[in-house]
Chain A
């Protein structure tokens, strides 16, 4: 067996140890990894058929022992709870109360701390792809006037951050884009390149799929604005200074990384800071499916997922973290 496969299996096993309860993992995790490596080396010496058997056997061992250790922990928790509630009458009302607290906690976490989203369109393609399922950290850019800002890792929105926000034209929809301009910034484009405050941006994260240069899209805001929505027209009317758009206070200018095929601030104007939902935290699952399936789950889509889970999941994107990236600014000479 090549060393790379062996080290991959060992790394995978290391990650899979997280399924065990923390106490067990702390005590035996390193020893288990060691024993796994020894067995892996042994299987490798005996030939390819052995590796397959070894992998299968390890998977079964993992499932069964995780199950056992976790139910032991649950059992231990029940014991703790029994001791804690000893002496008090365990009534049906107490049982309902316990569950109510659990459900409330879950709802709090699910609505305030993180939220799961799926990306249905390709406007951020090259950074975030169609079918990426991600968790969004809803507190990252939360209003910093809250008293608890010292307790949690907040930070102010910056240029280059990837951000999820309510689409200004229809707040039912959540968009994910990159922040290009902050309040006071002057924005325009020349030949597909952004010029911010008179400096040319070198943006490593963008992608261009169309070699043709279009007037408005690629030389923003110059040219006939056909596909501009009402809020975009408002921007072009009220915030244009010398052929540049100036970002007003408490808003930002957002663009998709897939510049030639992105519906962004060029077409529907600035995003109010109040519309910010949060910051993409991690892509936990990426599944290759068409846009319409991701927007509305159908029976066909459920079958598609069931049948092609392993082949259509983009494993290389699993647990990917979409990173903020700063563009380099260079002097612009026309």
Chain B
């Protein structure tokens, strides 16, 4: 095999991929739990359907951003077995690099007064 993959090569991540990685930051989750978490993160703006979710997971598995971590039932749903996914170290690096990229973009937008400062927006009227 060639040189180890560099997270920066994968940037920019598409929104679904980035949010799936964020959903897996706290620990492993199964497909439906990822969908729910992504909806919560984005205030219901990004709703992943099954086709989009598993299409992304397929490519993320191939790029070694995530890995499968076995099958077991989720006690909060029913006793069906579900396949769980976990973020790899490369996945964490890629998510961090993407967040950094977005932060740089936000910083640039602030300096050009396109976006207000968070404290200024909520400050005195």
Q: Which residues in A have some Cβ–Cβ distance to B below 8 Å?
A: 20, 24, 27-28, 31-36, 38-39, 57-58, 60-62, 64-66, 68-69
Please report the C-alpha to C-alpha distance between residue A116 and residue B119 in the assembled complex, in whole angstroms: 68
Quick one: closest B residue to A23, CB to CB?
B58
In Å, the complex CA distance between A38 and B58 comes to 20
Contact assessment for A38 and B51 in the assembled complex, using a CB-CB cutoff below 8 Å:
no
Contact status of A65 and B32, CB under 8 A, knowing A31-B83, A38-B77: no
Residue B60 at the chain A interface, CB threshold 8 Å: no
B51:A62 contact, CB within 8 angstroms: yes
* A34 pairs with B49, CB closer than 8 A: no
CA distance A36 to B32 in the complex (A): 8
Given A61-B49, A62-B51, A64-B51, check contact A31 B31 (CB 8 Å).
Answer: yes
Q: What residues of chain B lie closer than 8 Å to A36, measured between beta carbons?
A: 50
Could you write out 24 A-B pairs with CB less than 8 Å apart?
A: A20-B51, A24-B55, A28-B54, A28-B58, A31-B31, A31-B54, A32-B50, A32-B54, A34-B32, A35-B32, A35-B53, A35-B54, A36-B50, A38-B77, A57-B49, A58-B49, A58-B50, A61-B49, A61-B50, A61-B52, A64-B52, A65-B49, A65-B55, A66-B51
B35-64 near A? 1/0 per residue, CB < 8 Å:
100000000000111111111011000000
Q: How far is the CB of B119 from chain A (nearest CB, A)?
A: 36
Closest to B47 in A: A57
Which chain A positions have C-beta within 8 A of B53?
A: 32, 35
Alpha-carbon distance between A64 and B54 when the two chains are bound, in angstroms: 13
Q: Give the distance to chain A from B125, nearest Cβ to Cβ, in Å.
A: 36
With A35-B50, A64-B52 as given contacts, are A27 and B58 in contact (CB-CB < 8 Å)? Answer: yes
- Report whether B31 and A65 are in contact in the complex, using a CB–CB cutoff of 8 Å: no
**Residue on B nearest A58 in the bound complex, by CB:** B49
Q: Report which residue of B31, B55, B83 has the largest number of chain A beta carbons within 10 angstroms of its beta carbon.
A: B55
Whether A34 contacts B51 by the Cβ 8 Å rule is: no
A20, A34, A66, A68 interface centre (most CB from chain B within 10 Å)? A34
Given the complex, which residues of B lie within 8 Å of A69, measured CB to CB?
51, 55
Q: Which residues of B are found within 8 Å of A38, using beta-carbon distances?
A: 32, 77
Separation of A35 and B55 alpha carbons in the complex (Å):
13
Within 8 A of A (CB), among B70-111: 77, 80, 82-83
Q: A35-B35, A38-B32 are in contact. Are A65 and B52 (CB under 8 A)?
A: yes
A33 to B58: give the CA distance in the assembly, Å: 16
Total A-B Cβ pairs within 8 A: 57
A119 CB → nearest B CB, Å: 36
**Nearest B residue to A29, CB-CB:** B54
A44 to B121, CA, bound (A): 38
Instruction: With CB as the reference atom, state the residue of chain A lying closest to B31.
Output: A35
Residues of A within 8 A of B32 (CB): 34-35, 38-39
Identify the closest chain B residue to A28 (Cβ): B54
Q: Which residues of A contact B47 (CB under 8 A)?
A: 57
The chain B residue sitting closest to A69, CB to CB, is B55
* B80→A68 contact, CB < 8 A: no
Q: How far in angstroms is the closest Cβ of chain B from A247?
A: 55
A108 to chain B, nearest CB (A): 34
Interface pair B55/A60, CB less than 8 Å apart: no
B30 vs chain A, min Cβ distance (A):
8
With the chains together, A32 CA to B51 CA distance in Å? 7
Selected from A27, A33, A60, the residue in CB contact (under 8 A) with B49 is A60
CB nearest neighbor in B for A62: B51
Chain B hits for A57, CB < 8 A: 47, 49
> Could you say which residues of chain A place their CB within 8 Å of the CB of B58?
24, 27-28
Given contacts A38-B77, A39-B32, contact A68 B49 (CB under 8 A): no
Instruction: Find the A residue at minimum CB distance from B51.
Output: A65
Q: List A contacts of B49 (CB < 8 A).
A: 57-58, 60-62, 65
Most interface-central of B32, B50, B58, B77 (chain A CB within 10 A) = B50
Q: What is the CA–CA distance of A285 and B49 in the complex, to the nearest angstrom?
A: 28
**Residues on B with beta carbons closer than 8 Å to the beta carbon of A28:** 54, 57-58
Task: Take A31-B83, A34-B82, A58-B49 as given contacts and tell me if A39 and B54 are in contact as well, using a CB distance cutoff of 8 Å.
Answer: no
A28 to chain B, nearest CB (A): 4
What's the nearest-Cβ distance from chain A to residue B55, in Å?
Answer: 5
